Amino acid sequence: MSGRVLHLVILVLMHITKARAAVEARDNAEIFSALCELMALADGPSTLPPLAADSSAEYDKIQRLNTYTADTKWLKMFVEDANKKTYHRTKPQTISGHDDWDKYWTHWIKAVTEVHEGTNMEDIKNLKTRSMPKAQLLAFQTEVRKAAETAFQLKTTRDNLVSQINQFTEELIKKP
């Protein structure tokens, strides 16, 4: 394959007019583009590396841990009707002064629902946070909240990047 490439490059170079003494910007752009296309053809099709596995399970676990360690006042804010076990799917109008909560609400409500239903809670219950001394629990809650916020930011960034990466095609990769 590389023998054919070398032959093609020599043919292209033989047909190029003699270079001028004063080379200006973009003088050889067309030739460079043609050579890049030849090299791309010689290398074969480009393949993007596969995306890393989606880490939604770990993200959800961090959000459940954050919810599980939260106080009851925080958890009651999500409950619409305790008897029917229904939850506010959007931030209630009664909660004011927290405009930034809208972006978190769907993630929080999913975690609250899973904690109340006991879904995927084995690992979290094994941490025995309920038996921690109050000072230790407060320190633990602080670190878990930081981890949950960082996880949210990383997930948001990753989701945005995935949508951008999916836009790439062979044609876009080969463009000079």
Query: Do 113 and 82 belong together in one domain?
Result: yes
Query: Do 89 and 123 belong together in one domain?
Result: yes
Of residues 104, 77, 98, the one with CA closest to residue 88: 77
Average pLDDT over residues 71-87: 83
Query: Do 86 and 143 belong together in one domain?
Result: yes
Of residues 13, 51, 52, the one with CA closest to residue 31: 13
Query: Do 73 and 94 belong together in one domain?
Result: yes
Q: Which residue has the higher pLDDT, 124 or 49?
A: 124
pLDDT of residue 27: 67
Q: Nearest 5°: phi and psi at 145?
A: -60, -40
With a CB cutoff of 8 Å and minimum separation 6, the contacts of 68 are: 115, 121, 124, 129
Q: Nearest 5°: phi and psi at 86?
A: -115, 155
Query: Do 135 and 155 belong together in one domain?
Result: yes
Structural domain includes residue 51: no
Q: Please, are residues 176 and 36 in contact by the beta-carbon 8 Å criterion?
A: yes
Average pLDDT over residues 51-74: 85
* Domain containing residue 85: 56-165
pLDDT of residue 21: 47
How many domains is the chain partitioned into structurally? 2
Query: Do 18 and 86 belong together in one domain?
Result: no
Structural domain includes residue 172: no
User: In this model, does residue 172 exceed pLDDT 80?
Assistant: no
Of residues 98, 101, 75, 99, the one with CA closest to residue 87: 75
Average pLDDT, the chain: 79
Would you place residue 119 in the very low, low, confident or very high pLDDT band (cuts 50, 70, 90)?
confident
Average pLDDT over residues 50-71: 84
Would you place residue 143 in the very low, low, confident or very high pLDDT band (cuts 50, 70, 90)?
very high
pLDDT of residue 116: 86
Query: Do 60 and 113 belong together in one domain?
Result: yes
| Stated pTM of the model | 0.63
Token pair for 43: 């290398």
Query: Do 87 and 149 belong together in one domain?
Result: yes
